[in-house]
A and B are shown apart, each in its own frame.
Chain A
């Protein structure tokens, strides 16, 4: 393990690594990120090991366990190099065929390729797949190219060259200037200018400064930061060391949630490797700059993603935000100037140094630069992580990359920005994604959550769900958040249960105003967004629930009933047999009837009714009464 004492030694080491490997040597890259592992990637990896050995290819094929390339919907993902053949949904039993056909005979296993839903065409290479084709993966592209456990792999793709450049050629002020000029804004939520934040810390009068990676990713359904930290931990580390140099910090922290065990393991391993190579510790690359990193595992409180709560937790106290009116880049951790940035923000830093602020500034919109990783989930065909230039429209993300809505259902809304983001309706689908654009639409960028909802989603219930999450995650310190959210949740729950009353909307609006204006931290201040945005764009749904006791999306269980259309029912007995509460009466070849008093609205009858009959219907509101009387 060589300690690298200068940028020249690093370059030499890099060249040695590159020349020791044959670029034409076949390599099986298998995603070993959390998503693919959950779909059985570990067994696929095992199967490749066994099969390659069995077929006598062990000496000539490399197996690479990689980070997440993003297409989690179709995992386990396998890419065979040098041809870059991409196989999806790979199972252990597919492995012998892949080894024989692709590795030995250089052919393609057609059935494991991506098939375009519209044209039926198969895509051989990763870059041909529509999901990837419309992305710009500056940050995620390396995940599949390196073994996330190998610092050599990171060196081979040019790793730590930005750090070497900074330490040997740039003054701290020049690094600051470059980051400022790039227009990079924080990827964690508020979208504050990274360069200005750094500059504030550098200029604050103090001897000690800190830099922190916020990896306390807690938004439901969001896993951008996990993918980066698991898949390419050295890129985060390199960004952090550069940040430490720029602001004058000698100590950095990675605050990562305990629920990300693989990310914790990988970043710890990366830190150990970096220390061994002299990239952390004293006199980094012979520059005289000292810097080291400590990993701190969060205990699972969502609010600890809030910067001051995170710092309080790092200090060893209960993770509650601070009431102070002073920015933490001036007085943060242990009252010292502290720069806290999100994982994705740090990952952008080496790219900006290597490729220049001009390159970065050309990507994106006027005020939102670079790419952004979104976690595209919900009612969408291609679930996964997508990295796109800022300024791409929501429509393009959802339809061109995400492949639209499954099951022929209609799009209804997309929720961006995590639980305290907002729901954006169809009429705003041509909105270009950017910090300010999303805020103006009543939502926010947040850390990049994007949940697609179809016509079967009840927007009142969506608001209730997110407010419930936030009520549960409130730290409980200030009244507008702790008590205000509790009451908002109670009222929203009542509305979805048909117990809404006149005046509820106004009460909710007043509670929302109190939380937005008077809460202590960003959690409380943004918590009413799910309610406010759904009220703004879907007010008619609130009114239907309250005044007509009707759920237009036919979702709220207390407001719907099931009804068997006598014209369509053939008396097949299927629903009658499957009904868990024996609420269906009828005989073979006789029309079945649901006894509403017994029915619990579980929906089993609708699920089991054969599509050729399609006799069970959901009703809500007035029509529900009509259905019941028949």
Chain B
């Protein structure tokens, strides 16, 4: 009987201490918010790192004597590479993986399927705190002797596998990097397990698969990708760690002489690391972008007051992109010395992803076609998502050709491509989600005018940063170098770099508007109603913010699809999923 008393106490919110309510909470909503702020913290560091890089590229000889870790105020090439590595790692793992999936997925997946909680709340809490530890371990790499690793977010061997002899940051810094990624893998696996089980077994009565919001579909498919991909990265990370610390030769070939020392490895294969890494790395790209696709579909319908065009096709193409994502990792390795025959196979498979992607794009356009468009901040960012998805996706078709990739692979063309499709598009998805769901999460509205200004500055700014990089790349502007002023043909591209850098600083400054809006609205925003956007899905059927058990005494049941907007003959231009036919009749009679 003791447990009955326990749960009775749990129902009264005031009796749980601060630590268990806000810190070590098993509430999926609290955990979602924790993930959100973790990602926000990581993205701010990532942006600052990128600004240092952009500044250095344009003014490599500038003396920044006020920065203590630059000797004489000058940045060394190794320090630049450390910035490249940490920017990429923080952004890919701790921002693009955490924010769309772990943050918003955690908060809204149970709400949208009408569940009171995730299937395994304590695993969920463990997963967040492991991610937190992983972030601390990663950031610790900055302050250890030698500093952060220089081998890029892909940690290519043998640079990453032979230890500090390979350069500053390749000692303890690289070891911390691998440890952090290992912890992150375990956290992501636990999260994925929770998402999948929750989606399969915790849906409310009537919430069939084909009535799930497309956001839920996206989180579900993403969780499957996470589950399969992070397990492989974990195995690869263990082998890499052994090469570094136990003297094995999984990835390290024989005969490497560094600083006059012959390395004690034999017969390992750097190509093997690349295969294992990219078997994770390519699905990881979709882990970052699929939730953004889900949010975009969701928002476009809501703010066009129209059903999603081709709902079933949208769900199927999410699965198709997820499936194909596991078959194309080789397109990151066209210049690795891999067999050209495999290149052809990887090339064809890569281009075939264009088909589901094009279906999605057409369906997004079909959704807004002749809609009653309401250009609020979430809608603007979703339209922006479609725009950068198309722009970044088209350059992908060029890079998918092995012959063209041979020429473009080491250039800024690739930097432009992956930043637009993976970075900017995913970030736009995150912004759309933030503006859409902020009222639900915090019970207050964000400032709409500031949101609009934020969108236009970010949208124009992002294109100004990354469009010139296409031209730099086509002209042969190589990437990963810290100083281009020494070679004449590269120095001639400096005006483009300068434009890109100025745009980067301006766009970063525009994010201050977002930060101000976020924190100001948290305390001073106008109180939000339960359903401020007149939306149909279940998260809007409960108060803002929702109670601890999401729906209180009400056990939600679902009677229709997720996007019934502007149904002919209906009283309102939206019919929530939970309205029964009897409720509807009653509403019509009023």
- Co-complex (A, B): no
Interface residues of B (CB under 8 A from A): none
